[in-house]
Structure 1
Amino acid sequence: MCGRFALTAAADQTAVFLGLAEVDAFPPRYNIAPTQPVLMALADVPQPPGSNRPDRTAVLVRWGLIPGWVKDTRDFPLLFNARSEGAAQKASFRAAMRHRRALVPASGFYEWRKEPDGQRGKGQAYWIRPRHGGLVAFAGLMESYAEPGGSEMDTGAILTTAADADIGHIHERMPVVIEREDFARWLDCRGNEPRHVADLLKPAPPGYFEAVPVSERVNRVANTGPEIQEPAVEVRQAAFRMSERGSETAKPDSRDRQLSLF
């Protein structure tokens, strides 16, 4: 699944990557979590021949899709991911798959390797990023939800698929990646039904991502700085150096306890 991701590129870089006229400025975001606003790109209304205006538009949506037919959101689960294998048939995602497919720009995502049976804890966290650097586009779905009071809220989810060999040892699922050459086909909901883009709902090519172990800082949504992406080995080394400076007479077992925090 994909429960956290990051978007640290500048707004102008993001706009160029997605083929948008512009994107409002935003700060680097290192720890985006469900219910927070996320940027999505959707196909705009068709442009007349000769128009220089891009046929895509950027929207901010709440990460957590709410189907239009939901009566009470308090009794509805948080749908921040959608399994791509059945999204076109599932009631919660069927309309969005047909009419509102989107792209979600990201610099990478986080995943946690499960602890062995019998051990407690969230498990080792990994920062999973494109090996070539730069941005990646996840397959997304957008749905507008009319609240009982009359106001509307745009909501969205990220489609997932079976993890590839590079990620499978960490988690069995990963976000669907849409390549740049397939952006137009994925977003074209007028000309392409879900069955026409089903071939895009597959794992990333081998070697596309690299997984970097990071510290437990990413576990807390309140931690939003770049330090959460520091490789875990570097975090441990920094802690060791700090303990060395703090007490030259520290015993080895006290250092071990310090290092065990990461």
Structure 2
Amino acid sequence: MCGRFALTASTDQTAAFLGVGELEAFPARYNIAPTQPILMAVAAPSRPPGSNLPDREAQLVRWGLVPGWVKDMRGFPLLFNARSEEAAIKPSFRSAMRHRRALVPASGFYEWCQNGPAKGQAYWIRPRHGGLIAFAGLMETWAGADGSEIDTGAMLTVAANAALASIHHRMPVVIEEQDFARWLDCRGQEPRDVSDLLKAAHADFFEAIPVSGRVNKVSNMGPEVQEPVAVDEEKQGTLASKTSDDQQMSLF
């Protein structure tokens, strides 16, 4: 599961990482939550031969996918995550999985421990090597009866790896940089052709840092939400030795 994440890299770093050309300047964001706008990179329309335009383009979308067949989005549940195991067949996601796969740039994400004495403890989970990562995303444009359109999106999740399973049983799918082009190629790559990319990052890819409950509030948007806190040794020991069960925690 991924219900909060951060993007704190500079605009130029993010554009270079995604290969999308120039981006409009944006501030560091330390506590991004569903329904807020998020940046996604998608494959650009076909370019004429000899064009110097990038093969990808960036879009701001509402985090919370709404399928095109929904009549009234006000009563539709907030789909900010999609289970990768069923995205190609589930009605809410299969069209986007086939036609509108995307990349979501991030500096890391937050998760809350589900079980045991440490239940409720928040963690800032970031790549050990630092820098940017890209989560697997899906994009869908929803059209209202009045002709208005809203670009919406969700992140794909997978069963957590051994290092994070004691915190939560799901984690976002990370697309490696060498696989960006294949993941985004919805013309030449069907969902079955990219299914091998829908896997958990290796166990030592991320590090989990305990942080305070400040991150629980969407209104707390500064770097202080990532400040490490001490965790009781007994709780930490239980967390390290405990395996995940099959329950999912609600963040809201």
TM-score, normalised with respect to structure 1 = 0.86
Deviation at 1:140, TM superposition (A): 0.1
Deviation at 1:122, TM superposition (A): 6.7
Counterparts of 1:1-262 in structure 2, within 5 Å, are 1-116=1-116, 123-233=120-230
Letter in 2 for 1:157: A
Letter in 1 for 2:158: T
Deviation at 1:52, TM superposition (A): 2.1
What is the alpha-carbon distance in structure 2 between the residues aligned to residue 59 and residue 141 of structure 1? Answer: 12
Letter in 1 for 2:45: V
Post-superposition CA distance 1:55-103 (Å, at most 9, x none) = 1000000000000000122221100000000000000001000000000
Paired residue secondary structure (2:163): coil
What is the alpha-carbon distance in structure 1 between the residues aligned to residue 115 and residue 201 of structure 2? Answer: 25
Paired residue secondary structure (2:59): strand
Letter in 2 for 1:15: A
Aligned residues: 231
More helix by share: 1
When the two chains are superposed, the root-mean-square deviation of aligned CA atoms in Å is: 1.4
Letter in 1 for 2:169: E
What is the alpha-carbon distance in structure 2 between the residues aligned to residue 192 and residue 115 of structure 1? Answer: 39
Letter in 1 for 2:51: S
What is the alpha-carbon distance in structure 2 between the residues aligned to residue 68 and residue 114 of structure 1? Answer: 33
Paired residue secondary structure (2:96): helix
What is the alpha-carbon distance in structure 1 between the residues aligned to residue 129 and residue 93 of structure 2? Answer: 32
What is the alpha-carbon distance in structure 2 between the residues aligned to residue 88 and residue 187 of structure 1? Answer: 15
Unaligned runs of at least 5 residues, structure 2: 232-252
What is the alpha-carbon distance in structure 2 between the residues aligned to residue 122 and residue 74 of structure 1? Answer: 32
Deviation at 1:45, TM superposition (A): 1.4
Post-superposition CA distance 1:186-208 (Å, at most 9, x none) = 00000000000000000002210
What is the alpha-carbon distance in structure 2 between the residues aligned to residue 67 and residue 122 of structure 1? Answer: 34
TM-score, normalised with respect to structure 2 = 0.89
